[in-house]
Amino acid sequence: MAADPLIRVTDLSRSFGAHRVLDGVSLDVRRGEAVALLGANGAGKTTLLKILATLTRPTRGRAEIDGHDCVRQAEQVRERIGVVGHGAWVYDDLTALENLTFWLTLGGRRPEPGELQAALAEVDLERVAGDRVRTFSAGMKRRLALARCALARPRVLLLDEPFGGLDPRARKWLEGRLEAFKRDGAALLLVTHSFGRELGIADRVAILAGGRIALDSPRAGLAPDDVQRLYAAHTEEAP
């Protein structure tokens, strides 16, 4: 069963009252694979991510992480996912080290000696380990969030516009870090708004329009222009 996708979305629908945001979405992401999810504002990308992250429930259909249902086995799913959203899950008045200690302990683990320092070193934050996060830039907070994620050794990473607000150096670093996650066998689902560099790490590109996946194709061979063209085509066709 190693071939089973780590993320499996089957005919997923989500309505908010009368407004149907997702209407029969199906998507798979395998081990070591990264899928970039594109779509217009309000297309439902974040909603899909939230369902996978067990933050909200679908109205119909199934979402599974590593074979566990996101609704009925939420706790097992939470043990396996890492979430990088807009907020970095940081407490401004705590130091980087204290933040990591908190989240790791809350997750039920005791940090091994030197483990936290090593995690900070990996994201190039070991020099500011004892500084309060209030003094960090957006990029540094994002890196801290990734260190936090990495500590939990997730099998699936759900990222909501992870490159947003990062300077070119930080973006390059993030690409490398995400590649490392892929090499470790994690499945990545990136929600993104733009067609830039971040598509570089994606193995497949999916476009969400009209509540469903309008396009799901390997990225290899697609130039950024192609993607942009396809995106425009599909989002224009959407009702």
Tokens representing 18 are 């009368």
Per-residue mark of binding to another protein, 92-131 (x: CB under 8 A): xxx---x--xxx-xxxx-x---------------------
Inter-residue contact 36 to 207 (CB < 8 Å): no
Q: Are strands 204-209 and 34-39 parallel, antiparallel or unpaired?
A: parallel
Q: Which of residues 153-212 bind another protein (CB under 8 A)?
A: none
Q: Is the Cβ of residue 47 or residue 230 nearer to another protein in the bound state? A: 47
d(CA 65, CA 8) in angstroms, rounded, equals 6
Q: Is the Cβ of residue 110 or residue 183 nearer to another protein in the bound state? A: 110
Q: For another protein, which residue of 42, 60, 72, 86 counts as binding (CB under 8 A)?
A: 86
Inter-residue contact 125 to 147 (CB < 8 Å): yes
Q: Of the listed pieces 62-70, 73-81, 183-191, 216-224, which binds another protein according to CB under 8 A?
A: 73-81
Q: Contact between 89 and another protein (CB under 8 A)?
A: yes
Q: For another protein, which residue of 81, 120, 125, 191 counts as binding (CB under 8 A)?
A: 81
We find the least distance from the C-beta atom of residue 232 to another protein, in angstroms, to be 31
Burial environment of residue 75 by CB neighbours within 10 A (0 to 12, 13 to 18, 19 or more): exposed
d(CA 205, CA 194) in angstroms, rounded, equals 12
Order of all β-strands in the sheet with 34-39:
81-84, 156-160, 187-191, 34-39, 204-209, 212-218
Q: Contact between 137 and another protein (CB under 8 A)?
A: no
Q: Contact between 83 and another protein (CB under 8 A)?
A: yes
Q: Is the Cβ of residue 148 or residue 171 nearer to another protein in the bound state? A: 148
Assign 69 to helix, strand or coil.
strand
Q: Of the listed pieces 36-44, 75-83, 199-207, 211-219, which binds another protein according to CB under 8 A?
A: 75-83
